[in-house]
């Protein structure tokens, strides 16, 4: 589930349900018990999302840092009653009108203000936080030889893009994933940033990634699309391109599989 839009959505919901309230904090799994005890009963001041990173800031306690990684997940109810936590639940938080369980996080720990700043400091501009990161994105992308599909996953260049968005953004712009970053025109670099802003913010609003455009939706609206109708290329190897019917292709770039249409995204090696 987690690309940038997911994390910002979690921050928004947790701010609404838990922010400004005293929160009961514990660790059903036990692996976070000592830290949970330091937060238990404190007031949660604010939840901040930066790229794929979450920071829970408390009154009188260190910041709770959470990174979901590939398999991490928050399950949240807008009431204090919830089903029992599973044995894998690392962290549980409960306020008067909300309960949330965290499973499988890559990172869940308390951090100092200094460490919090270091983590945020490594990140490139986040297109969900601010639209005004285009010049910084272009600067960090730089005249690199790395494939653009690798650069888009590098959180130091742009924060919040994941494996689905990188494939879909490159399809929408007609750019082959192997294209070296240095070979992109300034117009393509600008378009990558602008499209990232639009698409990730759309993802925050809808709560899922939907990149297909109205021309390919048929008579249906964006919210009515089934899960297998939302995307152009991600995980569609061998299936016909929605625009030109050419079979979608797949290869690894930067250690992750990616997908593209050889006709709509010409070039590569």
Residues in contact with DNA by the rule CB under 7 A: 1-3, 6, 29, 31, 51-52, 67-73, 86-90, 103-104, 106, 153, 155, 162-164, 208-209, 235, 255-257
| DSSP classification of residue 227 | G
| CB of 4 vs DNA, minimal distance in Å | 8
The greatest distance separating any two alpha carbons of the chain, rounded to the nearest whole angstrom, comes to: 58
39/54 with CB nearer DNA: 54
Chain center to CA of 141 = 19
Looking at 3, 35, 116, 168, which residue is catalytic?
3
19/99 with CB nearer DNA: 99
Residues 121 and 115 sit within 8 Å (Cβ to Cβ): no
| CB of 117 vs DNA, minimal distance in Å | 15
Residues 6+ apart with CB under 8 A from 183: none
Looking at 9, 52, 94, 230, which residue is catalytic?
52
12/73 with CB nearer DNA: 73
Residues 182 and 144 sit within 8 Å (Cβ to Cβ): yes
| CB of 187 vs DNA, minimal distance in Å | 26
Residue position matching structure tokens 């959505």: 9
Looking at 22, 132, 213, 256, which residue is catalytic?
256
Q: Which helix (H) or strand (E) holds 261?
A: none
62/105 with CB nearer DNA: 105
The H-assigned helical ranges of the chain are 4-18, 33-39, 113-121, 134-141, 148-151, 163-172, 186-206, 214-217
State yes or no: is 2 an active-site residue: yes
| CB of 6 vs DNA, minimal distance in Å | 6
Nearest 5°: CA angle at 262, between 124 and 142? 25
| Catalytic machinery residues | 2-3, 52, 256
């Amino acid at each position: 589930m987690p690309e940038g839009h997911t994390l910002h959505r979690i921050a928004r919901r947790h701010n609404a349900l838990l922010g400004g309230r005293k929160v009961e904090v514990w660790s059903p799994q036990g692996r976070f018990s000592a830290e949970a005890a330091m937060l238990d009963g404190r007031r949660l001041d604010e939840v901040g999302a930066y790229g794929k990173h979450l920071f829970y800031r408390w009154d009188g306690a260190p910041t709770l840092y959470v990174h979901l990684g590939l398999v991490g997940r928050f399950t949240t109810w807008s009431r204090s009653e919830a089903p029992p936590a599973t044995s894998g639940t690392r962290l549980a938080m409960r306020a008067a009108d909300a309960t949330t369980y965290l499973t499988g996080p890559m990172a869940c720990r308390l951090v100092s203000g200094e460490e919090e700043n270091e983590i945020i400091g490594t990140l490139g501009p986040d297109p969900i936080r601010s639209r005004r990161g285009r010049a910084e994105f272009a600067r960090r992308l730089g005249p690199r030889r790395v494939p653009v599909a690798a650069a888009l996953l590098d959180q130091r260049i742009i924060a919040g893009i994941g494996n689905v968005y990188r494939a879909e953004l490159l399809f929408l712009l007609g750019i082959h994933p192997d294209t070296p970053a240095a070979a992109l025109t300034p117009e393509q670099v600008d378009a990558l940033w602008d499209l990232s802003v639009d698409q990730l913010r759309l993802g925050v609003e809808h709560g899922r990634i939907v990149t297909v455009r109205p021309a390919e939706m048929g008579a249906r609206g964006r919210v009515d699309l089934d899960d297998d109708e939302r995307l152009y290329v991600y995980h569609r190897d061998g299936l016909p391109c929605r625009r030109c019917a050419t079979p979608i292709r797949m290869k690894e770039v930067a250690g992750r599989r990616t997908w593209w249409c050889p006709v709509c995204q010409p070039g590569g090696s």
